[in-house]
Structure 1
């Protein structure tokens, strides 16, 4: 692809989050509402688009559970399909529920929908009690060890070494900055702050192209590869191309985040991926082709 810079997502690309973030999603809903979805079904929300923020995905999962408790009769696949048709993300989920139930039912659902509590439980489960105290300067009400320690590194050190020696490297992630730092330290990837965009950055999150375009400008690059594990990541590259046609943006699907096997490959291709790789360790090789 003769690219001048490489931009990486973190979750599902550099570290495996199946037993951390995705586990925190389903267990947070279980803790608050005593019901949840299977962990594997989190991918259905990801595929619907607009769920780069796992707190919002947790809120949408809880909304589905609460709606079902009030008689909502769609299975999860139909619910997430409807979210996609409604524009994706949390607002799409709200639209689906609003259109499916009567006003009294809607009011009961919203009265029980405790988004702040869900986020707080999520952070306690993910960080664990010790890190939660450090990060929030607050005493947790759950005694947890932290799923953050259950994130296997996906990228080999040789891959990180090759990428950083041969290309300028940036990161665009939906993680908060403090949690991005934990993952990057574990991976062994040092990224200057000006080349790192997180949940805490002022730019809109994926699939909005703003962070990717800003990175291209800061990296002074005209040909940029963006490797991510979700369809939103590919859409981010597509949106960047449309918004900034003077540069070339290449979306690369990485299959270690949930879109695996041939079905995942085809989903990436339909979304407009320029290439699909099974593992981030293959990235340097395809960039040389």
Structure 2
């Protein structure tokens, strides 16, 4: 596809958008916090959502550590007195999420339901919509879902360690540049995510590059759709953080809806 034919660019977050991580990443967070609080505290989905709504805990290792700290503080311990090595937290988390085999994933990651199909992405390409991925997941985890599960050959991806974490928009800019292949055309960009940090990334992008039309689209992850009250609360947080629209599934962002947003 020639870049001058692009009508728009859509960049997707992965966790909660492309795959359901309620039983994987979030389960690993809960396991990790429970492990390092000696079984005294296991955070609920609501606890994790509340933390992530602060917009600065996109890294799930850091989110796990923060939940551990906050629990210990609630028990009267000073944060400075809590001696839990970050690497130990990461290793335990990865053991649950990726599994015990360093060469082949055999952990929670293997059971993540897909929320997007390759056919949906083909539909975007056929309608001259460029697409790529910007995620806080590790490259190994992101490529596993994109290449092995979705069957994509060479997806444009910026993952953890490729760019600063969200809401810094550098990774989003990198994806757009790769899609445009050096073309400086002004194309509207939609970023699709499921967290406050994702929407804040769009706001930051619009502030740094005001000549581009940046649009945030929120997606409700499956765990936030268990009941109407929870769904409305989660939706409100995304809209208050800058989402132009909030969908309950990423594939509802079809060509017609994309053109209406532009």
* 1:182 maps onto 2:152 in alignment: no
Pairing partner for 1:134 from 103, 110, 113: 103
Q: Which residue of 1 aligns with 2:165?
A: 205
Q: Which residue of 2 aligns with 1:148?
A: 109
Bigger helix share: 1
State the shift of 1:30 in Å: 1.6
Structure 1 235/191 Cα, relative in aligned 2: closer, same or farther at 3 Å?
Answer: farther
State the shift of 1:65 in Å: 2.3
* 1:281 maps onto 2:243 in alignment: no
* 1:269 maps onto 2:239 in alignment: yes
Distance (whole Å) between structure 2 residues aligned to residue 181 and residue 217 of structure 1:
20
What TM-score do you get using the length of structure 2 for normalisation?
A: 0.84
What runs of 5+ residues in structure 1 fail to find an aligned partner? 73-104, 136-143
Residues 24 and 126 in structure 1, CA contact (< 8 A), matched pair in contact too: yes
State the shift of 1:216 in Å: 2.5
- The alignment of Structure 1 onto Structure 2 pairs a total of residues equal to 240
SS at match of 1:16: coil
What TM-score do you get using the length of structure 1 for normalisation?
A: 0.77
* 1:9 maps onto 2:21 in alignment: no
* 1:216 maps onto 2:176 in alignment: yes
State the shift of 1:200 in Å: 2.2
Q: Which residue of 2 aligns with 1:172?
A: 134
The superposition leaves residues 119-159 of structure 1 with CA deviations (integer Å, 9 ceiling, x where unpaired) of 100011111112xx227xxxxxxxx9511112100113432
Distance (whole Å) between structure 2 residues aligned to residue 17 and residue 51 of structure 1:
15
SS at match of 2:189: strand
* 1:242 maps onto 2:207 in alignment: yes
Residues 168 and 219 in structure 1, CA contact (< 8 A), matched pair in contact too: yes
SS at match of 1:128: coil
Counterpart mapping for 1:79-98 below 5 A: none
The superposition leaves residues 211-267 of structure 1 with CA deviations (integer Å, 9 ceiling, x where unpaired) of 112322332352111100011111111110110011111100001255552222222
State the shift of 1:113 in Å: 2.2
Distance (whole Å) between structure 2 residues aligned to residue 276 and residue 147 of structure 1:
27
Structure 1 106/189 Cα, relative in aligned 2: closer, same or farther at 3 Å?
Answer: same
Residues 16 and 257 in structure 1, CA contact (< 8 A), matched pair in contact too: yes
SS at match of 1:169: strand
Regions of 4+ moved over 6 Å? none
SS at match of 2:57: coil
* 1:51 maps onto 2:96 in alignment: no
What RMSD, in angstroms, separates the aligned Cα atoms of the two structures?
Answer: 2.1
Q: Which residue of 2 aligns with 1:28?
A: 32
Q: Which residue of 1 aligns with 2:194?
A: 229
Residues 125 and 145 in structure 1, CA contact (< 8 A), matched pair in contact too: no
Distance (whole Å) between structure 1 residues aligned to residue 72 and residue 52 of structure 2:
20
Distance (whole Å) between structure 1 residues aligned to residue 68 and residue 7 of structure 2:
41
SS at match of 1:11: coil
